[in-house]
Amino acid sequence: MHGGETPRPPFDGPVRHVYVHVPFCRARCDYCAFASVAVGGGGSATDVPRLFDAYVEGVAAEWERERAAHDVRRLRTLYLGGGTPSLLGPDRLERLLTVFRPHLTPQAEVTVEVNPEDAGTEFAAWAAGARRSPGSGALRGVRISLGVQSFLPELRAALGRTAQADPRAAFDRLRAAGVASIGLDLIHGIPGQTPELLAGDIATVLDLRPDHVSWYELDVSEGTALARRLARAEGTAGGGRRAAPVAALADDVRAAGYRRLVRALSRAGYDWYEVSNFARPGHKARHNLACWRARPYLGLGPGAVSTVGARRWTNSADPRAWAAALAAGRRPTRSVEELDDATRARERLLLAARCGEPVPLEAVSAVVDPDALAASAGAGLVSVRGGTLRVTRKGRHVADGLCVRLFRAPRLRG
């Protein structure tokens, strides 16, 4: 049998993927619910360099511990996310990469998230040069994921992004320096983002032709500054004053915007390979794909999440406590979640649904309601062929509702 997928339990197997969480930002964005610490201008305050250095040392120490614990030999992907990894600057990033270099395979994908204001010529040179630095024969390229959010300053302002750097110029610098794979990070569904303004961002993206696009719908998390502002806007709705905060977009408008950008990017040759991710041929984010295919991954850094086999754990989010523990030779505190077979199978299904990845039926049949599966297949939301289940593109638009539908009903209590 060729190409037969081994129904290995989700997240089982040797660890080949590492995520490093860089929990620092200049200022917290209004919509952000991530673990991050605002450090102002970056490097000016006296204790910031010390904080950054302690952080890099911490990652090195944690990596050594976890590498030994999980017997990690070779890394296929390394992802530096945040937070704002670019805030560390090229030197510290280089030191960070040095920690992992001995373990990266020649084909390894290394991704760094960058904010436009950090993507100066020096940074661009490092990003492009990292692939040629001495002793780095093992490293072919650094993927850059550029945090654009929107090309329109007023929409960035609506998100509380105050940095004035032009993302277009940042992109051009990275390209000019020779970075081989550049992805853009964008947001749609921003308050005030009319269909026309969205069309403008789409046009700019198509004009720049990045290798990869992540385009997320704005998620207003409870407790964020944005959530408070939108709540205020609702309170003043009808007043119609210019000074009033801009109200949230209607669900219909956001859904239409999403359909529009999926259509536009697909037509332009981007593969819509995950709900919010698009790639030109050969440029899918292999690190994220590995997670979505339920392969085991390690997360390093404060607040980072790891999943290996039947266990998922989350580091405590406080960078100082995390660094102090590692400096003292202790493991940072973490919260652990044990995943039973059914839970892992459900995760497998929900992740695959988002990517349209094929899943062997036998891997999920214990958690899937056969009647719901038949009904969903009848409606063209999933296809079931040759013992393989695959969520169609049509199904991907409603992947959450579809999973809820497909999951077997929980046992009635009592």
Partner 1 sequence: MAVVTPLDHIRNFSIIAHIDHGKSTLADRILERTGTVAPRDMKEQLLDKMDLERERGITIKSQAVRIAYAARDGQTYQLNLIDTPGHVDFTYEVSRSLAACEGAVLLVDATQGVEAQTVANAYLAVDNDLEIIPVLNKIDLPASDVPEAEMELHELTGATHDEILTISAKTGEGVDEVLEAVVQRTPPPEGDPTAPPRALIFDSEYDQYRGVIAYVRVVDGHFDRRQLVTLMSTGQGAEIEELGSFGPGMTPAERLETGEVGYIITGVKDVAQVRVGDTITDRRRPAGEALPGYKVVHPMVFTGLFPTEGDKFEELRDALEKLKLNDAALLYEPESSVALGFGFRCGFLGLLHMDIVRERLEREYGLELITTMPNVEYHAHLTGGGMAVVRNPAQMPEANSIERVEEPYVTASILVPSQFVGTIMELCQGRRADFVDMKYLSPERVEMHYRLPLAEIVLDFFDQLKTRTRGYASLDYDYSGYRASDLVKLDVLLAGEPVDALSLIIPRESAHQRGKALVTKLRQKIPRQLFEVPVQAAIGNKVVARETVKAVRKDVTAKCYGGDISRKRKLLEKQKEGKKRMKQLGVVEVPQEAFLAVLELEPGAKGR
**Backbone region of residue 301 per phi and psi (left: phi > 0; alpha: psi in -120 to 50; beta: other values):** left
Contact call for residues 39 and 45 (beta carbons, < 8 A): yes
Sole binder of partner 1 in the list 36, 149, 150, 288 (CB under 8 A): 288
77 touches partner 1 (CB under 8 A): no
82 touches partner 1 (CB under 8 A): no
List phi, psi (to 5°) of 188: -125, 170
Considering beta carbons, is residue 161 or 346 the nearer one to partner 1? 346
**Is the dihedral angle over the CA atoms 115, 120, 121, 126 positive or is it negative?**
negative
Considering beta carbons, is residue 126 or 292 the nearer one to partner 1? 292
115 touches partner 1 (CB under 8 A): no
Considering beta carbons, is residue 84 or 307 the nearer one to partner 1? 307
63 touches partner 1 (CB under 8 A): no
Q: How far is the CB of 254 from partner 1 (least distance, A)?
A: 8
Strands (E) in 23-88, as ranges, are 24-25, 37-38, 75-82
Q: How far is the CB of 84 from partner 1 (least distance, A)?
A: 16
User: CA-CA-CA-CA torsion for 161, 162, 163, 167, nearest 10 degrees?
Assistant: 50
Strands (E) in 304-358, as ranges, are 305-308, 311-315, 334-338
Q: How far is the CB of 108 from partner 1 (least distance, A)?
A: 18
Sole binder of partner 1 in the list 379, 383, 388, 392 (CB under 8 A): 379
Rounded Cα distance between 384 and 374, Å, is 9
The residue range among 55-63, 87-95, 103-111, 350-358 that interacts with partner 1, by the rule CB under 8 A, is: 350-358
Q: How far is the CB of 399 from partner 1 (least distance, A)?
A: 4
Sole binder of partner 1 in the list 216, 324, 358, 383 (CB under 8 A): 216
Considering beta carbons, is residue 219 or 362 the nearer one to partner 1? 219
Contact call for residues 300 and 59 (beta carbons, < 8 A): yes
Contact call for residues 287 and 77 (beta carbons, < 8 A): yes
31 touches partner 1 (CB under 8 A): no
Q: How is residue 368 annotated by DSSP?
A: B
**Is the dihedral angle over the CA atoms 7, 9, 12, 17 positive or is it negative?**
positive
Q: Report the interface residues with partner 1, using CB under 8 A.
A: 19, 216-217, 219, 252, 254-256, 258-259, 275-276, 288, 291-292, 297, 299, 303-307, 312, 314, 337, 343, 346-347, 350-351, 354, 371, 375-376, 378-381, 396-405, 407, 409-410, 412, 414
